Amino acid sequence: MIVVGAGLAGLRAATGVRARGLTVRVLEREASPGGRIRTDIVDGFRCDRGFQLLNPSYPAVQRHVDVAALNLRTSGRGVRTVDGSGRVSTLADPTRHPRLLPTTIRSAYDVGLLRPRAVAGAVRWALPAVGSVRRLGAAPDAGLGDDWDRLGVQGPIRDAVLAPFLSSVLADGIGSTSDRYVRLVLRSFLRATPGVPATGMQALPRQLAAPLREDIRYETVVEDVIDGPSPSVRTAGGETLRARAVVVAAEAPVAGALTGQACARMRGLSTWWFAADGLSSDQFLRVSGSGGPVVNTAQLSAFAPEYAPPGRVLVQATTLLDQDGPAPESQVRGEVSRIWGASAAEWELLIRHDVYDALPEQVPGTPLQRPLRVGERIVLAGDHRDTPSIQGALVSGGRAASEVARLLA
């Protein structure tokens, strides 16, 4: 069997096939595994290509990843929201940060989060997230913004906390994402605190790729996939490779081009990585409660010190990205200055990652799992076939392996 792509879905499909006693060859266009999950080393700083976190509560992560070996570094459990004047409000989980309970109560009161109607609406919206995944998946679906309107999720709890926090998670600034999917995301955040591997997010795909070793062929670009009783792939080097089945585990635009299938549209994010020496340490994610281009910012070196050289400070800022390109740097620096309460004018910009294909779009009514088989012996895999997440990528890879086993039985 041939797998096109050594991202999380492709690696999981390959290991799943091998576990069934079948031979596999993985073709990857880059020089290392990971797909959209990669880490660049810039002047000793670890800069992931896009601000990404690993949630250890994902069932597929618990099943297929040695989380302990990744030395996961977790952020503060909560969020700081900053208003237009630079006032910081802290909302922290008191079970993990008991000393911040008075601050959290005071912040919630000051920004109007304790209004009874708004709290009731937020509880009605969030409550299904604590139930079973099966029940949640069978629930009616709507756009996130529309469902918030229906349930009365209004005021600061929506505008200053939920909307800015979820904008970066969903790469969606207008609330058009499937509410059913968003509740699944919320469920994972309620169950565990996300974090990053000590050596960068690329440690995750490297761990998954380790058992495959010689079965992965890097720097091999696939230009065509031909279906049939004996499917084949054609590489940019002019080779034609045949197999009993082919799993196309590339990102949605590439998978669509190779198979002719309609795949999910993608949403983009830009991540700006700054050396911000002199900034006071803070382990909490920060969001803007008054709009602006920056959907979140975090001091990675505060909770993952391995991300920066000794004595240095690493800050990321994430902005939405569309076809108009990234936000102006001056505007981003201005917003970051307000959110952190310190001038970012002289911070060194280490690198900016513009990831136009950061996440598949999950519109209302989209099934949580889509069909994988798209030809006689062609199978798709990727988070565009499940939920847009690490969980979805791993699950789709496992489903693809099962589909191949049925095809070849």
Spatial contact of 197 and 71, defined as CB atoms under 8 Å apart: yes
Distance CA 65, CA 236 (A): 33
pLDDT class for 211, splitting at 50, 70, 90? very high
Question: How confident is the model at residue 121, as a pLDDT?
Answer: 86
Pairing of strands 294-299, 88-92: unpaired
User: What is the structure's pLDDT at 205?
Assistant: 98
Query: What's the chain's Rg over C-alpha atoms?
Result: 22
Token pair in block for residue 289: 């409660």
SS3 for 84?
coil
Whether the pLDDT of residue 124 is over 80: the answer is yes
**Percent of the chain scored above 70 by pLDDT?**
100
Which domains, and CATH codes, for the chain?
Answer: 2-37+202-265+363-408 (3.50.50.60), 72-197+267-360 (3.90.660.50)
Helix (H) or strand (E) holding 357: strand 348-360
Per-residue confidence band for 299, with pLDDT thresholds at 50, 70 and 90: very high
pLDDT of the residue at 354:
97
Residue 113's pLDDT band, with cuts at 50, 70 and 90, is: confident
Q: What is the mean pLDDT of the chain?
A: 93
Does the pLDDT at position 231 exceed 90?
A: yes
Beta strands per DSSP E along 9-132: 25-27, 39-42, 45-48, 72-74, 78-82, 88-92
Whether 59 has a pLDDT exceeding 90, the answer reads yes
216 confidence band (pLDDT: 50, 70, 90): very high
If phi > 0 it is left, if psi is from -120 to 50 it is alpha, else beta; for residue 219 that is left
The 10s digit of each residue's pLDDT in 372-408 is 999 899 999 999 999 999 999 999 999 999 999 999 9
How does residue 277 score in pLDDT terms, banded at 50, 70 and 90? very high
Consecutive H or E run containing 232:
strand 232-235
pLDDT confidence bin for 208, thresholds 50/70/90: very high
Tokens 């700081």 belong to which residue?
A: 80
Q: What is the percentage of the chain residues whose pLDDT exceeds 90?
A: 75
- Per-residue pLDDT reduced to its tens digit, 69-81: 999 999 999 999 9
Across 49-62, average pLDDT: 94
Q: What pLDDT is stored for residue 257 in this prediction?
A: 94
Residues found in the chain: 409
Measured CA distances, 93 to 71, 83, 181, 300, 304 (Å):
22, 20, 23, 19, 20
Amino acid at 312: R
Spatial distance between the Cα atoms of 326 and 201, rounded to a whole number of angstroms:
23
What was the pLDDT predicted at 394? 97
What pLDDT band is residue 368 in, cutting at 50, 70 and 90?
Answer: confident
| Per-residue pLDDT, 171 | 86
Which residues are CB-neighbours of 171 under 8 A, at least 6 positions away? 267, 268, 269, 320, 321, 358, 359
- With residue 271 as reference, give the H or E element that holds it: strand 266-275
**8 A C-beta contact, residue 148 and residue 123:** no
- Over residues 139-190, the pLDDT tens digits come to 788 999 999 999 888 888 888 888 888 887 888 877 889 998 998 888 888 8
- pLDDT at site 102: 94
pLDDT in tens, 255-276: 999 999 888 889 999 999 999 9
Token representation of residue 332 = 């981003």
345 token code pair? 């004018």
Is pLDDT at 322 greater than 90 in this prediction? no
